Amino acid sequence: MKLSELSTETGVSTASLKYYLRESLLAPGEPVTRTQSEYGPDHVERVRLIRALVESGGLSLAQVRRVIDALDSPTVPRHELLGVAQEALMDAERFDEDAEWTAVATTFVERRGWRIQDGDVLIPQLGAQLKALAETCDVGGRETLDRWADAAEIVAASDLDTLTDDDAQALRTAIVGTVLSDKVLQTLRRLAQQNRTGRLYEAARESGGSPGSNQ
């Protein structure tokens, strides 16, 4: 197919496709003339991946490049797949590290018995997030954090269960699945909040009280 047909097939403008080609995010097509090239199913798949990462995953093109580089890299040991995914997605959030809150996050992770690599940037990132929560709202303290961690462990187990025996496909699932499922989990959380609130309201109305009351 021509570039214009690739644009129609993927819903991405020809200008964007040309940019992807210039930036080597998309492999060149097969030359047929001096000014025209042919594109195939692999190009359609790659463009759809880029579009999903940008539009649904919210990644910058710099992050997309790291994801693609990771996907195109040689096979990595299976126990390192999610680590490669996390490294490819690094810098998704900017934060100011706070030594005191990093220590709080470290203590929490150690108390959970989680096996985390020394120096992992996710620890100070968690600390910065906990600091922001503590400074702006009351979410229930350590008990709430433990419940969130319990839920996170269930999600992590599910993530590992989705990895197939094919290393290349498993790497793709680890990276792309992490990006896109983060958004799904966020939406599901909001839907669950609405459901929970609605049920509490109905129960309170039936009992003659109000949501959140002790009546």
- Lowest mean pLDDT: which of 36-40, 126-130, 199-203? 199-203
The answer to whether the beta carbons of residues 63 and 92 sit under 8 Å apart is: yes
Give the residue-averaged pLDDT of 177-191: 88
Q: Which residue bears the tokens 């990595």?
A: 76
Residue 206 to residue 2: CA distance in whole angstroms: 63
Per-residue DSSP letters for 111-144?
HHT----TT-THHHHHHHHHHHHHHH----THHH
The predicted structure's pLDDT at residue 90? 66
Q: Enumerate domains of the chain plus CATH numbers.
A: 1-56 (1.10.1660.10)
Whole-structure pTM over 0.75, yes or no?
A: no
